[in-house]
Structure 1
Amino acid sequence: MHKSLAAGLALAVGWISLASAAETWPLSRQQVLDASGRPLLVPSVAFFKAGTTTPLAVYSDPALSKPLAQPVKADGTGRFPRIYLPTALYAERVSGPYGNLLWFDDGLGTVPPTTGSDGGGGTVDPTAIAATGDVKWRMDAGIMPGWVRMNGRTLGGAGSGATELASATASAAFAYLWNTFPDTVASVVGGRGTSASSDFSAGKQIVIPTMQGLIQAGLDDMGSSPAGRLQTITDLTLSAGSTTATVFSSARLAIGMTVIANGISAGTTITDINGTTITLSQAAAAGSTGTVLGARFSALGDAQMPGQIGGDAFTGLTNKNLPAILPGGSVTVDYPAHTYITHETLATASITAATGASPVTNLQQGLKNDLTAPPNAKTFSVSQPNPGGGLPVSNLPPTRLGTFYMKL
């Protein structure tokens, strides 16, 4: 009831003014009712600075010159007096007539406005504007003042020759990229100097991290315990100088994963998996023999490092990706046995005449019964040719295209 009432009052009477120094508490002159709709007798309210138990001074006048004693009590009909608060985020604790808690709400109010840097007297809410490095997505491909497209091109100062933006207005974004990310994410053309400001003044360019054809995702840890969605964590046993290692479990490991562990060079990947034995793209470092607890195997370069990139919309399957058990690939033929077979025995004779001897072939000599044994069983392999096979398969989830922008 309280929040909806506050919203209604704010719309109806405009009780919040960012330009003013004070706000009217939304329940001023309002009654607090019990569950039956009857006014509560003498409820009270206490105010605190947001997120703390530190009391926040409140007042009976808009000039904030007459402080009210806290907790502020309502009258016998449950109606609170007019209460003014400084423009700030605050918490409120409302109690019943016997000190019982009715509600405790935090994060109320507004952020104090700050005066514009141009001295014109305007006010700006720092939480209501985009900060340098903020990213937004729009369903178009236009150029936006105050923002740059995240297209892998460069930004720098006026005269730098940067391909996306060459302007003095790029200084804050240049410093943000320079100080936040390594060269693998935001490289400086010509190499990094001693500081972002010196490189910007020297007319250098920095590459804007690309979001071309990419879908954004959260870090696997993001300041908390790893979720294990973009990486697999398991113990790894190494042998110094060897590309062969063993893992405690190979579940959720895949060829191509990046290995992050002590004794493993940066960029090392899995090239083969056989049971719990894996093959690495680079040999383990000297002195690394032993077990590394909690080695990380990432589907990206490093699933816990901001700005990493990886994955592909298309992939091809190899035999390693097929199920471990496949249909049989052979046919065995077992020939039936025979008992006796009767056949003719043939002979060749010679007839002599006045002109000479002439052979006579295929003369029946008699009949013969022979016992024949069947041949041994034979196995014939069966192949399944797939003309035109081996094409990649799409991994792309349902997607809508637009443009990612980064705030200058």
Structure 2
Amino acid sequence: MHKSLAAALALALGWASAASATETWPLSRQQVFDASGRPLLVARVAFFKAGTTTPLEVYSDAGLTKPLAQPVKADGTGRFPRVYLPTVLYAEEVLGPYGDVLWRDDGLGYVPPTTGGGGGGGTVDPTAIAVTGDVKWRLDAGIVPGWVRMNGRTLGGAGSGATELASATASAAFAYLWNTFPDTVASVVGGRGTSAASDFSAGKQIVIPTMQGLLQAGLDDMGSSPAGRLQTITDLTLSAGSTTATVFSSARLVVGMTVTATGISSGTTIADINGTMITLSQPAAAGSTGTVSGARFSVLGDAQMPGQIGGDAFSGLANKNLPAVLPPGSVTVDYPAHTYITHETLATASITAATGASPVTNLQQGLKNDLTAPPNAKTFSVSQPNPGGGLPFSNLPPTRLGTFYLKL
């Protein structure tokens, strides 16, 4: 019988608390094998209090009166002896022939429900304790028994090789993640099988959704009407096969937003915005020509789907992020001063001789100064270089760091 079921049955039948004060180590009378499937004849195991390196006393008898020396050694066939532990959360560290750590699993075991004294008064209210999938935040970065850190590492069964927790105690959290989220949020290493139970039994690992460097936020709808805080909702008119579409209003639209609407492929984003015309990163699907009511746009992907990630701590400004109307200005062009040109004035004279009158041309009459005509008007392009500019700016609100944990 599963340990948690046995504890619940014992509690329901009113068995003495001493009956659940001891548990048997699951690998008692079991062999540990090497990569070739041969028993490791000198395997050893040490036990610690959960989340610490403090040794935990274990025993060879169910009455917990005969302590075992640690690390506990396997026998000549690689089989561990019978080991009894107090009913607490603990960590186990199994060592190979050369003292190499084969695995160290933490958060094993369980804490049984408590009962009231005096012959039967009530039990712990299950609605007042954490359940599988609950998330909590702590100011430190330690390992917490019964919880795993939400760090993008993996969990799975004992021997699965999971990087955050490889233990039978991970089964409930494995099933919660497998059944609740798609692979985009909690992917199964090696691909999903037919069920969470079969994947867990097969030794597969599932990725714990990460909260590294992230702040938490509520879904935009959260079971109610969308609030419109993390997304913009407006009508969208499409043309099948075209990346150009129009929106009823482009207010609160941003380049890079994901578009969620009928006729739009998953992952389509806004590539450009010009008035109420937007450019999509992928063309509209065939047969999608027409207006789609209530198209949704968000930098978080789908702002109504749990587990989505978006936003950044740093941003940079492009020209399209500047105000539509810039402050007025002017450009003053200084034309060259007018200069004088000095030139001769010429005349024609007539000389009379015995043979008659003859004209004489190009005789210098004098000197004259004239002004040059002003140049024609010219249009000048003006740039405003900003040496050292173009650096990103921070979007991060005041923040304190700690660790997010997921309940097993």
Please say if residues 341 and 371 of structure 2, whose CA atoms lie closer than 8 Å, have aligned partners that are also in contact. no
Does 2:216 align with 1:188? no
Q: Which residue of 1 aligns with 2:204?
A: 204
What amino acid does structure 1 have at the position aligned with 2:186?
A
Deviations 1:272-328 (A, max 9, x none): 000000000110000000000010011211100001111100111111111112245
Partner of 1:165: 165
Asked if the contact 1:341–1:369 (Cα under 8 Å) also holds between the matched residues in 2, the reply is yes
Distance 2:378 2:311 in 1: 48
* Paired AA for residue 343 in structure 1: T
Q: Give the share of equivalent positions with the same residue, in percent.
A: 89
Aligned AA (1:230): L
Contact kept, 8 Å, 1:332 with 1:377, in 2: the verdict is: no
The AA in structure 1 aligned to 2:284 is A
Query: Against the structure 1 CA distance between its residues 147 and 373, is the aligned structure 2 distance closer, same or farther, given a 3 Å change threshold?
Result: same
Stretch moving more, 378-387 or 276-285: 378-387
Query: Which secondary structure state, in structure 1, belongs to the residue aligned with residue 271 of structure 2?
Result: strand
Cα deviation for residue 371 of structure 1 reads 4.9
The residue aligned with 1:305 is 305
Cα distance between partner residues in 1 of 2:203 and 2:406: 21
1:214 paired residue number = 214
- Tell whether the 8 Å contact from 1:335 to 1:377 is kept in structure 2 after alignment: no
- Matched residue, 2:405: 405
In the TM superposition, what is the alpha-carbon distance from 1:373 to its structure 2 partner? 2.4
- Residue of structure 1 equivalent to 2:394: 394
Whole-Å separation in 1 of the counterparts to 2:345 and 2:165? 102
TM-score (norm 2): 0.63
Tell me, in whole angstroms, the C-alpha distance in 1 between the residues paired with 2:375 and 2:229: 58
Residue aligned with 1:262, SS: coil
Indicate yes or no: 2:196 matched with 1:233: no
CA distance in 1 between partners of 2:273 and 2:226 (Å): 24
Partner of 2:134: 134
The answer (yes or no) to whether the contact 2:342–2:368 under 8 Å persists in 1 is yes
Unaligned runs of 5+ in 1: 1-113, 348-363
1:379 deviates by 3.5
Cα distance in structure 2, aligned partners of 1:295 and 1:203: 42
TM-score (norm 1): 0.63
Change (3 A) 1:407 1:368: same
How far the C-alpha of 1:381 sits from its partner, in A, is 2.9
SS in 1 for 2:331: strand
**SS at 1:378 equivalent:** coil
Contact 1:334 1:376 in 2 (8 A): no
Q: Which residue in 2 is equivalent to 1:372?
A: 372
Report the Cα offset of residue 341 of structure 1.
5.0
SS of the equivalent of 1:169 reads: helix
Q: Any idea what the Cα deviations from partners look like across 1:77-133, whole Å, max 9, x if unmatched?
A: xxxxxxxxxxxxxxxxxxxxxxxxxxxxxxxxxxxxx887xxx96721112110100
Q: Distance in 2 between matches of 1:314 and 1:192?
A: 35
Distance 1:271 1:341 in 2: 59
Deviation at 1:344, TM superposition (A): 5.3
Cα deviation, residue 250, structure 1: 0.2
Deviations 1:162-209 (A, max 9, x none): 000000000010010011111110011111111111111110000000
User: Post-superposition, which runs of at least 4 consecutive aligned residues in structure 1 deviate over 6 A?
Assistant: none
Q: Which residue of 2 aligns with 1:268?
A: 268
Aligned residues: CA RMSD: 2.5
C-alpha distance in 2, partners of 1:215/1:192?
29
Deviation at 1:383, TM superposition (A): 1.8
Cα distance in structure 2, aligned partners of 1:124 and 1:341: 106
SS of the aligned residue for 2:128 comes to coil
Instruction: Give the distance between the partners of 1:176 and 1:365, measured in 2 at CA.
Output: 110
Q: Which blocks of at least 5 consecutive residues in structure 2 are unaligned?
A: 1-112, 347-363
* Map of 1:359 onto structure 2: none
Aligned length: 275
Q: Secondary structure at the match of 2:127?
A: coil
In 2, are the aligned partners of 1:331 and 1:379 still within 8 Å (CA)?
no
Aligned-pair CA distance for 1:392:
1.0
3-state secondary structure, aligned to 1:320: helix
Contact 1:141–1:402 (CA under 8 A) maintained in structure 2: yes
Q: Distance in 2 between matches of 1:262 and 1:143?
A: 45
The answer to whether the 8 Å contact 1:153/1:163 transfers is yes
> Equivalent residue for 1:151?
151
CA contact (8 A) 1:330 1:380 kept: no
Aligned to 1:76: none
Per-residue deviation, 1:342: 7.1
Distance 2:204 2:238 in 1: 43
Residue aligned with 2:251, SS = coil
Quick one: distance in 2 between partners of 1:185 and 1:154? 12
The 2-side partners of 1:394 and 1:336 are apart by 48
Code of the aligned partner of 1:301: G
The question of whether the paired residues in 2 share the 8 Å contact of 1:247 and 1:277 is answered with yes
Q: Distance in 2 between matches of 1:342 and 1:391?
A: 54
**Worse-superposed segment, 366-375 or 308-317:** 366-375
**Aligned in 2, Cα 1:341/1:159: closer, same or farther, shift over 3 Å?**
closer
Query: In 2, Cα distance between the equivalents of 1:163 and 1:337?
Result: 80
Counterpart contact for 2:341–2:372, Cα < 8 Å: no
Write the distance in 2 (CA, Å) between the matches of 1:181 and 1:336.
74
Partner SS, residue 279 of structure 2: strand
TM-superposed deviation, 1:336? 9.5
Q: State whether residues 132 and 173 of structure 2, in contact with CA within 8 Å, keep that contact through their aligned partners in structure 1.
A: yes
Quote the offset at 1:329 in angstroms: 7.0
